[in-house]
Amino acid sequence: MNIRNLKIGMRLTLGFGTVLLLLVAISAVGIWRLRDMGLAVESMAERALVKERIAAEWLVATSTNSIRTFALVKSNDADNLKYFQKGITQTSLGITENSKKLFDLLETDAEKALFEDSVAKRAVYVGLRGSLMRLKADGQNAQVTQLTEEKLVPALAAYDASIKNMLVHQKSAIDQSLVSIDALNHSSQRNMLVLALLGLGSLVAWRLTIGIVRPLGQALQVAQTVAAGDLTTWIEVTTSDEAGQLLQALKDMNTSLVGIVGQVRQGTDTIATASGQIAAGNQDLSSRTEEQASSLEETAASMEELTSTVKQNADNARQANQLAVSASSV
């Protein structure tokens, strides 16, 4: 099928239909992007932020217990020792519970490796802290001080650093998620902008199609009506563009044809009148010709009668002459 044989309206519809298909495709991509962004935000809210919060609570709880531990080392009051030990035990149970929650949320090998490093260093630190408490309970303050300075402090520093490493990793993951979400957001905004522009373009295209096809259809109808011999159609021109100019030209042509037809009709009437006059003249001429023919017939009859009389007179004269000759001879 040759596209040039299609009507202009159909060709415009096909073109703008293609634009609408692009509009639908971009809309689908935009919706998909928004879905991805929603999933990314949901994942960050439900996992990344939760993991970062648990790691931060773990670090705070560890710092709190370390303060209690050093206070326990310095204190010699039995009630204070019991108070610090109770607080350390409760906080340690909370750390254990949070570590289990965090483990269930881990996804990557890097997260798991950092978690296992923190758990291992915690085990070393907790073991040294237990030994320190036992020594403190036995009143071996010198060994408590030595154990604290030589082993507990380095173990605590390593344990604290491992938790911070885990926390930094989670914050980095959150930052990466934010970057991805921001990229998705910008991409979605661009898609929405393109979508809006295509929507506006489709609306303009629709109006242009109507503005082009409707006057052309009207012009075609006028041309077909004129071709059928009907010059009474009223042509209304509402625009000054090419289609409006075409309608105006058809209107002018229709007006000119009406004038020409009027002139032809007037000429026809004149010819008919002249023909009538000629026919009347011919009739009068025929009547006169008949009268003249009748007069000629009468003249011919008179001439024939005159000829007969002359002939008779000649005969009479000849007879008289003969009688005269006869008389003279007697």
* Distance from C-alpha of 181 to C-alpha of 253, rounded to nearest angstrom: 66
Sequence letter at residue 214 = R
Using an 8 Å Cβ cutoff, are 81 and 75 in contact?
Answer: yes
Q: Write down all domains in the chain, each with its CATH number in brackets.
A: 3-216 (1.20.120.30)
- Mean pLDDT within 74-88: 88
Q: Which residue has the tokens 């109808």?
A: 221
* Distance from C-alpha of 284 to C-alpha of 263, rounded to nearest angstrom: 32
Q: Which range, 15-29, 38-52, 167-181, 254-268, is most confident?
A: 167-181
**What stretches of the chain show up as alpha helix (H) in DSSP?**
8-43, 49-74, 78-105, 109-137, 141-147, 153-227, 242-328
pLDDT band at 38 (very low <50, low <70, confident <90, very high): low
Q: How confident is the model at residue 127, as a pLDDT?
A: 94
Nearest one of 2, 11, 27 to 198, comparing CA atoms: 27
The pLDDT of residue 159 is above 90? yes
